[in-house]
Amino acid sequence: MINKLSIMRNSIAQSATKHWLMQRITAVILIPLTFKLIVFLDLCTNAPYQQTVDWLKSPLNTLCVEVWLIAAFYHAALGLQVVAEDYVGNQELQAMIIKVINLSFLFLTVVALFFIFRIF
């Protein structure tokens, strides 16, 4: 007979596995996109403003920057959530910190994407 404790352990294990997998997926996504972003930032250092905006207006470049922002912020939120889970002992405080982390990164993502879309 399955009891509540075994169901809870199973759901926690599935959640931890999903969390671990999402961290790895976002890390792999970030590798090529970070190289593209570094090339862009290197080109931006000496380029005039209009040339930088024109580069960002290219659909492929815009998509790369948007995906990088989403993946980077999500990856950072996942990492900080692990830190909160590992080092905060009080369960209520831990839950509040995780909510603040998630809402903060959601807000940062929305603001960053808003300003990228505003270029168009």
Contacts 24+ apart (CB under 8 A), 60-63: 62/116, 62/119
Matching residue, tokens 């250092």:
45
In order of their start, the domains of the chain are 4-119 (1.20.1300.10)
| pLDDT value of residue 4 | 62
| pLDDT value of residue 120 | 75
pLDDT single digits (tens) 13-27: 677 889 899 999 999
pLDDT single digits (tens) 87-109: 999 999 999 999 999 999 999 99
